[in-house]
Structure 1
C-alpha cells in the first residue's frame, strides 16, 4: 500500500487516497492520523476544507488487516499567523527608570518572518523584531502597544497590551482661588496639583516660617484672612514612589491692599 504525500494551505481541499496492489472488493478502509484512529472508512479521506488540525502523519489499512498498515506520510498544512499575542517581561508593576521587554508570539507555518511593533497613538511603526525592549522607561512610554506578525500567507495583529508606567509626583504647583486682589477678611483657598501615577495619595501644606505642617489635603483654605497669614506657602505631594515639594507661593494680607506676590510696602509692612 502507498499514499501520495501532499502539502496544502489552510482552507484548501484535499483528498488522500489509499492504494493497494491487491484486488480488494467490498473491503472497508481504516485511516490513522499520528497513529490515532479516524472515523473515515472509505478508500479516500476527504478533507474539505483542510485545517491545521489535519496536519500530521497519515496512514491507512484494510479492515481486518490492521497489522499491515501503509507507511506513514506527512500532510503539511501551511497557514498565515494565528493567535498573535504580546507578553510583557517583567510582569507586574512597571516603575519609571526600569527596563521592559515586549515579546510577540504567533502560530504560523512557515514561521513568522516579520514582526512589527506599533503604539496605538502613533501612526508609524515603533520597532521591528520579535522582541521590543524599552530601557530606562518613562511616563511618556505609557500607552497601548500591539504587534503585527507576518509570513507569506498573511498577517495578523495582536490584541492591545497596556504599558502603565508608575512614577512619583512631578511638577507640583499651587494655585489660588479667587485669583487677583483679595480683601482682608475674605477667604482664600490654595490648591495643590501634581502629576503622578498612581495619583498623589497625600498632600501636606507648609508655611516657610513654621516648622510643623499647616494642613493636609489637596486644598488648604484660609478663612477670614488677615496680616498674620502673610508668608510663603508650599505643598508636598506624596505617592507610593516618592514625594516632591512645590515652589513656594507668597501670600500677603495687608489691610485693604492684600495681594499675592505683591512687592513694596502697604500699611507699614514691606515685602522686598
Structure 2
C-alpha cells in the first residue's frame, strides 16, 4: 500500500468526515483530450497533502486512476485498465484523458486530501462529435409532376445524433406524402457508439422550381451545417408552340422568309411539322423552315406542330406585298408635230399606291397629247410607290416636223455700219440655214425645236434677201427687202449738211 493510501486510511480511522459535493459536468470533443477540472479549477487548500482521481465503472464500482502528492512532480498511476496509457494530470491537478471516446461519458471524481479535511468533487463528462454532412443519390434533373428522389442527406458519426431538415429557397419543406415525401432514419455504430442520421427527400417538381435551390440543414449541439444543391433542370412536356415569321417587313415578292417553330417544353423539342399550303413537311433536328423567292401566291396561313402531338400547333398568316406597273409607250417614241399620242398606265398593287410623273426630271401632271407640239418633246417617267416598294417606267418623246420660218426681221446697228438679219424657224431635226447674201458674225441657237439664226450684212445696194431652212423632212424659205447701208448713210449726211430742201439734181 502506498503512502497516500496509508494516510487516507489514517484520516478515515481518526473520524475525519468525507464530504462529497454535487457532481458538475464538462463537455469534450470526440478524439480530443478531455480536461476534467478538480473543484472547478479552484486553488487547492493550503494544507493539501495529495489528490486522487477515480471514476465510476459500468458496474457501479469505483476504479482508481492516479494519485498526485503535493510535493511530487510526477503522479502515481493506479489505473490498470484501458485508462492506464491515456490519463495524466497537470500542475493544476486537472485530470487529462487523451483520445476521447463515447466510453469516457461517465463520472470522474477528484478526491482532495488535506491535513484537516477530505473532499470529493465528482464531474460528469459528456463527449460530443460534430457530424460530417453530405448529400447522396442526386438526380440529373427533375420531372414535372413526377415524384423523384431529390437526394439523401447523411449526417454521419455524430454524438448526440444530428437532426436533419430540407429547405427550398431557404424555406423548410413540410412533408405532405404526395409532392413532398421525407423519409428519416438513424443508425448507431456499435463499435464507436456514434450515430448516423439520414433523410431522403422525394419531390414532385413544378415549372416554378426552375432555378430553385434545395438544401439539407443538419442541426447539432456543436452547430448547424447547410449543404446546398445546384439548381436542377426541370423537365416537362410542351403544352404550346409558337410560330414566328422571320423576315424584314413588309414581306415583298422575291424575299426569303423563315418560319421558326418554338415550344415551351424542357428540353425543347428539336423536330416539328410545318404545313406549307396544305403540304405537311417534317423537319428533323431543326425548328425552322425557309420559303425562298416568295411570290404573291404564297400569301396565306401557315402552321407548325409538334411531331409527337400534332394537336399542339400554332398558326400565322403571311401577307406578301407586290406592285406592278405597265406603261405604254416605253422607250423612244418618235411622232410628227400635230399628231396625237395615247399614254396608258396600268397598276396592280396589294395596297394603295401613289403615282407620280416627271418630265426631264421635273414633276408634271399625267401627260395627255391630243395635238403634239415641239414643246411636248422630252423624257417622261412614271413612278409607282407603295411603302418601301417602287416601280418606274419611262419613255422619250421626240416630236419631228419639217422646218417652218416663223419670223424674218432686220434692224440696223447703232452706228448704221451694218444690218442684223434674224431668221427664226421651228423644226425637228434641227434645221440648217442658208442665206442669199454674204454675211458675217453668224449666231445660232436651237432650243426645244426652235432655231434662231442671226447674221450681220452690209449691202451696197437695195436687195431682196432670202432665208432658207431645211432638214431631212423638208424645207421653207422667206424673203425680206434690205436697203443699201451706204445710201442710208449718204441720206443721213445730206440732211446734216443741207437741213433745207435741195433739188434732186444736186444729190
TM-score, normalised via structure 1 length: 0.61
**Counterparts of 1:15 and 1:214 in 2: how far apart (Å)?**
79
Aligned length: 224
Q: How does 1:29-178 map to 2 (within 5 A)?
A: 32=82, 40=85, 46=96, 54-56=101-103, 76-80=126-130, 82-87=131-136, 94-100=142-148, 102=150, 103-107=152-156, 108-113=158-163, 115-119=165-169, 124-127=170-173, 131=182, 134-135=203-204, 137-142=205-210, 143-178=212-247
* The structure with more radius of gyration: 2
**Counterparts of 2:240 and 2:65 in 1: how far apart (Å)?**
86
CA contact (8 A) 1:56 1:75 kept: no
**Counterparts of 1:21 and 1:152 in 2: how far apart (Å)?**
30
SS for the counterpart of 2:320 is coil
SS for the counterpart of 1:140 is helix
Gaps of 5+ in 1: 1-5, 59-73, 258-264, 268-272
Matched, 1:251 2:251: no
Q: How does 1:189-228 map to 2 (within 5 A)?
A: 189-207=258-276, 209-210=278-279, 212-213=280-281, 215-216=283-284, 217-228=286-297
SS for the counterpart of 2:252 is coil
Gaps of 5+ in 2: 1-24, 37-52, 55-62, 68-74, 90-94, 106-123, 176-180, 183-200, 325-348, 352-507
Shift of 1:30: 6.6
Matched, 1:8 2:27: yes
CA contact (8 A) 2:28 2:125 kept: no
Higher relative contact order (CA 8 A, sep 6+): 1
Name whichever structure is richer in helix by fraction: 2
